[in-house]
Amino acid sequence: MPNESFPQATTLKKLRFAVLKTVEQLTTEQLNKVPDGFNNNIIWNIAHLIASQQNLCYVKAGQDPLVPQGFIQAYKPGTKPEQQVSARDIEFIKSLLVNTAEQLEADLEDHKFDNYTPWVNGMGLELNNINDIISYLPLHEGIHLGYILALKRLI
């Protein structure tokens, strides 16, 4: 059943399924390829979506993220791929893409994010509470879906 209290969380889940559909036929090598002129690859962008959502929703609300802190650090803004991601790890990242979106919906219903720390993101947007974040996440995910589509054309 769609989340009526947080429809953007449902939108987020739909975007994530669109990401998976976009990359479903790509090989491990294609997902790891960094084309000339780019700083990252498709699998980095997918993992970045997870890391960003976990940092923005959980860490900034004083909650334990659903992924290790090292994962968040490896895929935060400004990072780039340091090594090839194995086929096994790619499948794990793909599963996290769906699982973290589903858990976010449940955690929103449980009011897990009531103690949110306001901040201003890199685009100058003031994000004062979880509602602001949930409204911002589909924009962020859409931007990275665009990057993924551009990278896909180049590999």
DSSP conformation letters of 41-81? -HHHHHHHHHHHHIIIIIGGGTPPPSS-HHHHHHTSTT---
**So what's the pLDDT on residue 5?**
65
Proportion of the chain above pLDDT 90, given as a percent: 88
pLDDT digit string (tens) for 81-108? 999 999 999 999 999 999 999 999 999 9
Structural domain includes residue 1: no
pLDDT digits (tens, 9 = 90+) for 15-38: 999 999 999 999 999 999 999 999
Rounded to an integer, the average pLDDT of 118-138 is 93
pTM: 0.93
Residue 2: inside a domain, yes or no? Answer: no
Select the more confidently predicted residue: 92 or 10. Answer: 92
Range of the structural domain that residue 101 is part of: 7-154
Domain count, the chain: 1
Please indicate, yes or no, if residue 149 is contained in any of the structural domains: yes
User: What CATH number did the domain enclosing 136 receive?
Assistant: 1.20.120.450
On whether the CB atoms of residues 42 and 19 are closer than 8 A, the answer is no
Is residue 128 in a domain?
Answer: yes
Query: Does pLDDT of 130 surpass 50?
Result: yes
